[in-house]
Amino acid sequence: MDVLAAIDIGSNAVRLLINYVEACHSSLDCSFKKAAYLRVPIRLGEDVFTSNRVNEYKAARLLEAMQGFRHIMEAYGVSDFRACATSAMRDAVNGPELIKAIKEQAGVEVEIISGLEEAELIYMADSKKKSAAGDTAALYVDVGGGSTELVLYKDGRLHFHDSFQIGTVRMLNNAVQDKEKKRFAHNLESLCTHYAPGRMVASGGNINKTHKVLGKKNGDPIRPHELKEFLDRLSVLTIDERMRDFGLNDYRADVIVPALEIFHCICKQCPSIRTVYVPKVGLADGLIRDLYAKRLLAGTYNLEQ
């Protein structure tokens, strides 16, 4: 067993995932077992998407989180990790300054990755690809606080991947540009026309929570009409009512509606989508699998022993 970790600095929350990994010949057939998972709802995008900066208070919270994550990784005996930042840090003018402070004060080196790399890593997270089996096109959709990633696979091959600056925190702050909405709609229309995906593979905390609230078991799909019905129920409720009626945390009760609006929009524009699978994996899972694959390639592991 090896112990690997990933840190995902997102627009809505900062996450640490630690996995026990059994040595094997391919990252596709490895056993990745969750040892620890920690989520801190700092919501960096709240300021970045309106002022282009992470404010001092949230920067201090981010540094505290990174220092805490570093100690937790040491306690678990993590042998290697990868830390990445996404949409909010891509947009923040003081992003490089924060990256430097995190390295100096927490000993964590953070990469600011592109939206395209984020999309690729999210697809990699669904390592077994059971939800995309067969020759029907599968549309992978990850909805985050700052961006939405689309990845389309058919016949085991990548046909499209892109990232759009449309996310839940951006939407709540009215910070989504019209030209980005049009670009998203144009690409979605093209994908639906040319590939007619039969299934969506959805990821992100909001769709994971929806899957749970709807009483679905692991592997059970959500039907598009179920998404719409749940969205309609939530939309007429206040934040407090959503928390009371569905057991949502305060940091989930506001962003879940714009997230479901995005998923519903995709289902509406792509009537070929009959099922929505929720593998309950995300960027952090993809980071660990990518890290393991690169260590295999580099000869870090001697599998003959």
DSSP 58-98: HHHHHHHHHHHHHHHHHHHT--EEEEEE-HHHHH-TTHHHH
Average pLDDT of span 23-35? 74
DSSP label at residue 221: P
Cα angle 106, 13, 281 (rounded to 5 degrees) comes to 105
| Residues 6 or more apart whose Cβ sits within 8 Å of residue 74 | none
User: Has residue 304 got a pLDDT over 50?
Assistant: no
Strand pairing report for 199-203 and 275-277? parallel
Alpha helix (H) residue ranges in the chain: 45-51, 56-76, 87-91, 95-106, 115-125, 168-172, 178-195, 205-213, 224-235, 239-246, 250-253, 256-269, 283-297
Mean pLDDT of the chain: 92
Higher pLDDT, 304 or 39: 39
Question: In the structure, what pLDDT confidence band is assigned to residue 88 with cuts at 50, 70 and 90?
Answer: very high
Contact present, 77 and 46 (Cβ < 8 Å): no
> Domains in the chain, please, with CATH?
2-115+284-297 (3.30.420.40), 127-280 (3.30.420.150)
pLDDT at 131 over 80: no
Residue scoring higher pLDDT (30 or 8): 8
Q: What are the tens digits of pLDDT across the range 99-128?
A: 999 999 999 999 999 988 998 898 888 755
Question: Could you tell me the pLDDT band of residue 300, with boundaries at 50, 70 and 90?
Answer: low
Nearest to 147 by CA among 110, 109, 121: 121
pTM reported for the whole predicted model: 0.89
> What pLDDT was estimated at residue 297?
80
Least confident of 54-68, 145-159, 236-250: 145-159
Tokens of 128: 């077994």
**pLDDT given at position 1:** 80
The per-residue pLDDT for range 246-276, each reduced to its tens digit, is: 999 999 999 999 999 999 999 999 999 999 9
Torsions phi, psi of 287, nearest 5? -60, -45
Count the neighbouring beta carbons within 10 Å of the beta carbon of residue 120. Answer: 18
What's the pLDDT score for residue 255? 98
In Å, what is the CA distance from 133 to each residue of 137, 188, 203, 271, 290?
9, 21, 17, 20, 21
**pLDDT band at residue 305 under the 50/70/90 scheme:** very low
- List the beta bridge partners of residue 18: 5, 36
The pLDDT of residue 134 is above 80: no
Asked whether the predicted pLDDT for residue 303 surpasses 90, the reply is no
CA separation for the pair 12, 14 (Å, rounded)? 7
